[in-house]
Structure 1
């Protein structure tokens, strides 16, 4: 009787072990499939709050709406400056600049900071039109660049500025920006 009881107990333990092995193999296969699906799927991050609707950024590329909103904000950041906010202005522009372009952009910004420091010249930009190219990662803004000395507006010129971008992972970074010069502006 003791032998049959031991045999039945051993059979029950073997069934439990086999069931545990089958469950472990099944869960391992399921984990591998989920890992593969996760690794090959485009990632998205939902950005909130945005003006009129939710906006997402995908690893598949930059959406036109996102590039337009970023261009608008970066145009205001880069083109609105006064002697009292030069350090903040330069730090903010460098924070959104791609690491590969920071040296060149920093040198250009330092020239502006050194020219404008201690003066009473400020400027602000009002956007009139914008052109966006999400495939080639560039955008242009056209508008009025207002120059102020003291508290008097001394100039209001229609200008176009181009912004070049780099997209890596889920991060859009500024590579460079500058004024677009036409033949008429070069002649002056």
Structure 2
């Protein structure tokens, strides 16, 4: 009798173990499917900007409206500076920069800080137009670059700047920016 009772008990434990194994395999399979679905599915975040209408950012690419707004904000940060805000100016630009671009950007920004740091020269930029290309992740900003020495406006010149971007996941990051020369603009069939 003890032998049959022990056999029945071990069969019951064996059935429980098998059911637990099947349940664990099923859950593991579901987890793998959820991970595959989560990584291959386009992700979207709805942003509420102050201007126009809500924007959607998707892992499948950058919308023209989003690239324009980020370009506008970045241009205002990058092209407006004074000796009093140079450290904040550099830190802010580096925060939106792609990690692989930090070294080159910081080197160039440090040159500006060294040149402008002990002076009374400030500059501000008034945007006239923005052109963006989400396919190549580039944008161009044109407008008037004003230079001020002390409290006296010295120059006001029409300039164009190009910004290059990297889009990874849901993050748009700055790779570089610079002024477009008149010769370069004419090569592209545009008036300088």
Shorter-chain TM band: 0.7 to 0.9
Aligned to 1:141: 141
**1:71-124: CA deviation from partner (whole Å, max 9, x where unpaired):** 000000000000110111111111111111111111111111111112111010
Give 1:26 shift: 5.8
Q: Deviations over 1:48-72 (max 9, x none)?
A: x312422222211111111100000
Q: Considering only aligned residues, what root-mean-square deviation do their CA atoms show, in Å?
A: 2.9
Q: Secondary structure at the match of 1:69?
A: helix
* CA distance in 2: counterparts of 1:72 and 1:37, whole angstroms: 35
What is the aligned length? 185
1:1-188 equivalence runs, <5 A: 29-47=29-47, 49-52=48-51, 53-183=53-183
5+ residue gaps, structure 2, are 1-12, 186-192
SS of the residue 1:119 aligns to: coil
TM-score under structure 2 length normalisation: 0.80
Flag structure 1 segments of 5+ consecutive residues without an equivalent: 1-12
CA distance in 2: counterparts of 1:109 and 1:45, whole angstroms: 32
Q: Distance in 2 between matches of 1:22 and 1:99?
A: 45
Task: Name the CA distance, whole Å, in 2 between partners of 1:174 and 1:80.
Answer: 17
